[in-house]
Copies of this chain bind each other. A is one copy, B any other.
């Protein structure tokens, strides 16, 4: 069975939990506190919800030990992320949204929209593989392109890299967008200054730019062969 719709439609907050867990679960289990912070919800509420999510089979959870998604939970999270990214793409490319406003709107819409809407939208958009931040869009069958990118701040001097995606922090996006730091751009790292982490890069036209580490940590790149 590929990507079966959940029996009962999941409430929007359930989806928020799944996404939050998915996002911060690169390293195993996720703590109550972490979830509570991502969702701006009291820790006690998180505990509560985790118990329920476990009963629903979406999460594995052990008291005082944190939570992780089950296969089913992961599938549901990826479905939401697919929706989110497709919707973002639509808002940015067709409705002229600014990067600042997209995220919030997409966040709300992704919980409301049906599978039919999602797939028709995908069709309308020409089945994009990435959203405009460069983040890969999970496929209908729950497949997600492996992500081997790393922060620009970790690239050594002399490296040639291509921007893969940019973090989706609202104010940062605007800043990066204005400077043309968008996915697909190829840069050569000229210098990484030990002292303060300032990194200097050169674009294809020979222009050079310098960024502090807060920026460099939010621009993800991959090596260019």
Among the 9-residue stretches A38-46, A59-67, A94-102, A213-221, the one with 4 or more Cβ atoms under 8 Å from chain B is A94-102
Return the chain B residue nearest A96 by Cβ: B120
Interface size for chain A: under 10, 10 to 19, 20 to 34, or 35 or more residues? 10 to 19
**One of B95, B121, B123 near A121 (C-beta < 8 A):** B95
Contact of A120 among B97, B108, B112, B116 (CB under 8 A): B97
Question: Taking the nearest CB of chain B, how far is it from the CB of A75, in angstroms?
Answer: 22
Contact of A109 among B97, B109, B124 (CB under 8 A): B109
In the bound complex, residues from chain B placing their C-beta under 8 Å from that of A113 are 105, 108-109
Q: Which residues of B contact A105 (CB under 8 A)?
A: 113-114, 116-117
Is A111 interfacial (CB 8 A cutoff)? yes
* A-side interface mostly: helix
Chain B contacts for A96, CB-based, 8 A: 120, 123
With a cutoff of 8 Å between Cβ atoms, the chain B residues found around residue A124 in the complex are 94-95
Minimum distance in angstroms from A128 CB to a CB of chain B = 15
A97 surroundings in chain B (CB, below 8 A): 116, 120
Closest to A104 in B: B114
Which residues of A come within 8 Å of B, CB atoms? 91, 94-97, 101, 105, 108-109, 111-114, 116-117, 120-121, 123-124
